[in-house]
A and B are shown apart, each in its own frame.
Chain A
């Protein structure tokens, strides 16, 4: 499929400090892409370059095959939903939404129809005569959305649009935003530092680290098969087992030594015997046994903390080898009494094949 937006070799630095480095990205039609990263990783700068508020030092951006960088911000078929919404305080909701259309000299019946339609799409048509300060944060957010989509942009840029909302409203807006994006068929580039938000909404997630792409993939790929320790650490909780490759067996199996025990692990990566590696395991992948099972290799440890989280029970286990693990288990209807006490002895293993083996970057 032809890309809507195509970014190549983008570089940007502010007073000698590199913000974006050799950045490439292809955005497909009606794709929901999330830029995920901590603050200062360059995600907002990338959005501002696409919108036209900043110029890159080098690199190219093409929108539908046309050079976007030669156009000023006002000529780009790209619209932004700002983090602070940036609604015009002296204009009513209707006139805020109508702003872009009026600039394009759209008048009368068509103007009215399109504004009303956009307001309906965000369920704000009852508020068209209000001023921005008369609206709640969530309502302002909806107006900001309407003001952008009414112009029918090729790409909508959203700069942490939900970060100012409380948790409940935020989840509600996530679902609505995703629904709206499907209805409109516009590509969204969504910036956030909230990994849960990124996992639940995106078609693809781009994890950014200091101006570079740490990983680009579907939410599932990014969560289940992180390509490096940075991505593994940034998205979700994770446990690291330090190990060393002993032997290679077949094309996708390695024998790893962890705390002196030999474990067979699955991997597509190429390793050499003697390589230092890390085995990554999500808390929900770990299994706890109260008595050591016969035919599985386990690591013995002691429960140091248990916390009840409603649907799940989270426990922290200190292995006899010193490693502190986080585990998470969903409550099981067949076993209503399952629980642990602090200080209890447990034996840990994991579902075979769910481990991810990565080279240890610290050596």
Chain B
């Protein structure tokens, strides 16, 4: 073997070893645990059962939590898309020297721990927080708004944390968009709305889909945002998993919930892949 081949072999071994050790093995353990019986003394008993899954699919409480999580993640995604698209558009259309500064401003909070930033949101949204103080002193409201410990607080927190994940893929596609195509559309009689729906939207669709996936998928699992801003009542799938492992000590149920969540996301990612494939077939 030549040195280059050896190096290549070592790198591949290292990466696959890392992946098997920290990726595949925990996943297999998770799958295995989800089929085991819960035992208060030893965490799990090695006897096969479908209890965890039947509990998950039969008890309405769990289904409600799941639906609520999907709804919240979906709203957050749409919120990020609705505000992120214009943001990405204007950033990409700015003179190049300004673009970098704007993107850095967007990225700076990103480098701070997200848990710290979620605590910071409490300071902003609380009864005596910055937002309420500002609104009160402006005379827009008479009594402080109750935002903390509601779905709105959770949504605001998630939106704040996830916005860069939406803006960056959108920015990347919009920046690559040939703006002369928009001029061509207008030249052929298309107003602003038609130019957007017929040309800009289809051509930036890959970025839109990538952004939505990048926001939606992690949002489903961000348990600490719901715990810190939503309080005890705003339970999401992420919180459910965390509680089963840490509080209820029901590892099989926690594992089963994780597996269901993973399958749900996998289905979505496959769907995205298929859509992207269909979309780009015209370009090959």
Question: Which A residues fall within an 8 A CB radius of B?
Answer: 51-53, 72-75, 78-80, 82, 84, 86-90, 92, 99-100, 103-104, 131, 133, 147-148, 151
Residues of B with C-beta under 8 A to A92: 282
Chain B, residue nearest A157 (CB): B187
Closest Cβ–Cβ distance, residue A361 to chain B (whole Å): 39
Q: Which residue of B lies closest to A90 (CB)?
A: B202
Bound Cα distance from A75 to B186, whole angstroms? 9
CB distance from B149 to the nearest CB of A (A): 46
Q: Tell me the complex Cα distance, A347–B183, Å.
A: 58
Is the Cβ of B187 less than 8 Å from the Cβ of A99? no
Partner of B183, one of A73, A133, A148: A73
Provide the residues of chain A in CB contact with B203, threshold 8 Å: 89-90
A84 CA to B178 CA, complexed, in Å: 10
Q: Find the B residue at minimum CB distance from A89.
A: B283
- Knowing A74-B190, A99-B198, A103-B194 are in contact, say whether A88-B183 is a contact too (CB < 8 A): no
Q: Which residues of B contact A147 (CB under 8 A)?
A: 188
Contacts of B279 in A (CB 8 A): 90
Complex: how many Å from CA A52 to CA B184?
11
Identify which of A51, A89, A90, A131 contacts B187 (C-beta below 8 A). Answer: A51
List the interface of chain B (C-beta within 8 A of A): 178, 180-181, 183-191, 194, 198-199, 202-203, 279, 282-283
Chain B residues lying within 8 Å of A84, measured Cβ to Cβ, are: 178, 180
Q: Is the CB of A79 within 8 A of B188?
A: yes
Q: Considering the chains assembled together, what is the distance between the CA atoms of A103 and B192 in angstroms?
A: 12
Taking the closest CB of chain A, its distance from the CB of B161, in whole angstroms, is: 33
Contacting pair A82 B283 (CB below 8 A): no
User: Is B194 a contact of A82 with CB atoms below 8 Å?
Assistant: no
Q: List 30 A-B contacts (CB under 8 A).
A: A51-B187, A52-B186, A53-B183, A53-B186, A73-B183, A73-B186, A74-B187, A74-B188, A75-B189, A79-B187, A79-B188, A82-B180, A86-B180, A86-B181, A86-B184, A87-B184, A89-B181, A89-B203, A89-B282, A90-B202, A90-B279, A90-B282, A92-B282, A99-B190, A103-B188, A103-B189, A103-B190, A131-B283, A147-B188, A148-B187
State how many angstroms separate the Cβ of A338 from the closest Cβ of chain B. Answer: 52
Interface centre among B178, B188, B191, by most A CB within 10 Å?
A: B188
Docked complex Cα distance between A99 and B185 (Å): 8
How distant is the Cα of A79 from the Cα of B188 in the complex, in angstroms? 7
Report chain A residues within 8 Å CB of B186: 52-53, 72-74
Q: Chain A's nearest CB lies how many Å from the CB of B178?
A: 7
Quote the shortest CB–CB distance from A150 to chain B (angstroms): 9
In the complex, residue of chain A having the shortest beta-carbon distance to the beta carbon of B191: A74
Chain B: minimal CB distance from A190 (Å): 16
Chain B residue contacts of A88, Cβ below 8 A: 181, 184-185, 199
A82 vs B283: C-alpha distance when bound (angstroms) = 21
Q: Could you tell me if A80 and B198 are in contact, using CB atoms closer than 8 angstroms? A: no
Of all chain B residues, the one with the shortest Cβ separation from A103 is B189
Q: Are A86 and B183 in contact (CB under 8 A)?
A: yes
Docked pose: A148 CA to B188 CA in angstroms: 7
Instruction: Apart from A79-B187, A88-B185, A99-B190, list 14 A-B contacts with CB within 8 A.
Output: A51-B183, A51-B187, A72-B191, A73-B187, A74-B187, A80-B183, A84-B178, A86-B178, A90-B282, A92-B282, A99-B185, A131-B282, A148-B187, A151-B189
Whether A82 pairs with B190 at a CB distance below 8 angstroms is no
B189 to chain A, nearest CB (A): 4
Pairwise interchain contact A151-B188, C-beta atoms closer than 8 A: yes
B283 engages A80 (CB within 8 Å): no
- In angstroms, Cα B186 to Cα A78, docked, is 11
Q: What chain A residues lie within 8 Å of B184 (beta carbons)?
A: 80, 82, 86-88
Q: Write out the residue numbers on chain B whose beta carbons fall within 8 Å of the beta carbon of A104.
A: 189
Bound together, the chains give a CA A74 to CA B183 distance in angstroms of: 9
Pairs A-B, 6 closest by C-beta atoms = A100-B188, A86-B184, A103-B189, A86-B180, A73-B186, A74-B186
Q: What B residues does A100 contact at CB under 8 A?
A: 188-189
Chain B residues with CB under 8 A of A75: 189
Q: In the assembled complex, how far is the CB of residue A188 from the closest CB belonging to chain B, in whole angstroms? A: 15
How near does chain B come to A70, taking the closest CB pair, in angstroms? Answer: 16
Q: With A and B bound together, what is the CA distance between A123 and B190 in angstroms?
A: 26
Residues of A within 8 A of B202 (CB): 90
Q: Give CA–CA (A100, B191) in the complex, Å.
A: 11
Q: Which residues of A contact B194 (CB under 8 A)?
A: 103
Contact (Cβ within 8 A) B282 A99: no
Min C-beta distance of A87 to chain B, whole Å: 8
**Distance from B172 Cβ to chain A, minimum over Cβ atoms (Å):** 17
A37 to chain B: closest CB distance in Å?
21
In the complex, what distance in Å separates the CA atom of A53 from the CA atom of B191?
13
Query: What CA separation (Å) do A127 and B187 show in the bound complex?
Result: 23
Chain A positions within 8 Å of B178 at CB level: 84, 86
Report the Cα distance A282→B260, complex, angstroms: 84
B101: min CB distance to chain A, Å: 21
